[in-house]
Amino acid sequence: MTAASGGAQTAGRPTRLPRSARRKQLLAAAQEVFVAQGYHAAAMDDIAERAGVSKPVLYQHFPGKLELYLALLDTHCEAIVAKVQAAMRATPDNKERVRGAVTAYFDFVDHESEAFRLVFASDLRNEPAVRERVERVEKGCIAALTDTIISDTGVNRAHAELLASGLVGAAETAAQFWLANGRQIPKQEAESLLTALLWRGIASFPLQGDPTP
């Protein structure tokens, strides 16, 4: 039984886990294998072995390798969008909202670097179903920022979406660069630098009702 299996054994047999717990266990094992080997080199045999289960058990939950990979992506894609949405709801202070969006991406790459690589650095990005999910992350984060920009500044949706896409793109690219370059500066300092840059730009758009041009 490998560490990924996470189940006790009774009389030489693995304990039967509830379906939801088994699924979570299999996804964790799959993530380890996909990150270590890449999608194309990974095999269902490797994932089953890492999870400490038989291949038939793995296939009971996921009909194939692609479905397993997509299930992983869905989990992580939903998480990053939820983080950005939460940052928008957490405070009425717009500078702190910008900081929250930046922090959401840096937290993702820092605490969930394996998940970040699966979503944004996959060797399967040309697969339509994978590309659709990555685009869904970007669209979900952009939508969260767009609604906030519209409500606060009164700019039209097309302008707000473009501004939001710039904020999301900068946060994603900077966080990925920070991770790829070995976290050369402390995370909090990196977040503050990027927040200062982005806030200087977005703050030039006055709040609704603000007479400042």
pLDDT tens track for 90-118: 888 888 888 999 999 898 888 877 777 77
Query: pLDDT at position 204, please?
Result: 66
3-class SS at 159?
helix
Domain residue limits at 110: 70-202
User: If you search the block for the tokens 């095999």, which residue do you land on?
Assistant: 43
Number of domains the chain contains: 2
Residue type, 4: A
- The reply to whether 49 falls in a domain is yes
pLDDT at residue 142, rounded to an integer:
93
Low-confidence ranges of the chain (pLDDT < 70): 1-15, 203-213
- Gap between the Cα atoms of 34 and 40, Å rounded: 9
Domain boundary (31, 63, 95) is at 63
- Here the CATH number for the domain that contains residue 36 is 1.10.10.60
How much is the pLDDT for 207? 55
Contact (CB, 8 A) for 206 and 153: yes
Q: Are 93 and 33 in contact (CB under 8 A)?
A: no
